[in-house]
Amino acid sequence: MKKIKTYSKILLGLMVIALISCQPKEEKTDSKTDVKNVDSNSTVHGSVHKISLSNNEPSFHDGEGKDLFLNNCMTCHSTRYIAMQPNFPRKTWQAEVSKMIEKFHAPIDTNVGKKIVDYLVKIKGV
């Protein structure tokens, strides 16, 4: 029992030392930090670099079926996922939408599925 208490104290001490050594060290800085704008998307504050990236979410063309497509497909898929798909013929888009309805139980009515296929063919068809 004495050995367990001794090992527990040693382990606790090592954990404290590890936590203390992992703390970030404060650097003394001058109140006037050198700030440079490298370009429109990045800034340098002394040795710290800040990069701002624009949000480039894909947008889809307006048309009949767009709202149905967005409301039903974007529940599971991101806009990027759809945008990165190759252009498919109607038969392939029909098979994809049918698979989502039949195998993955997407709650989409058959008539709505047809309109979604029409829209997909319009924006990503061959």
Write down the pLDDT at residue 88.
Answer: 97
Residue 81 lies in a domain: yes
Sign of CA dihedral 62, 72, 112, 87: positive
Q: Give per-10-residue mean pLDDT for the chain (126 aa).
A: 81 81 61 56 68 79 94 91 94 96 94 96 94
The H-or-E segment that residue 116 falls in is helix 110-124
Residue 82 lies in a domain: yes
Whole-number Å distance between alpha carbons of 115 and 69: 8
Q: In what order do the strands lie in the sheet with 35-39?
A: 35-39, 42-45, 48-51
Write down the pLDDT at residue 34.
Answer: 57
Domain span at residue 110? 66-124
| Domain count within the chain | 1
Whole-number Å distance between alpha carbons of 61 and 120: 10
Residue 53 lies in a domain: no
Residue 104 lies in a domain: yes
CATH number at residue 98: 1.10.760.10
Whole-number Å distance between alpha carbons of 44 and 112: 51
pTM of structure? 0.57
Residue 49 lies in a domain: no
Whole-number Å distance between alpha carbons of 51 and 67: 34
Residue 102 lies in a domain: yes
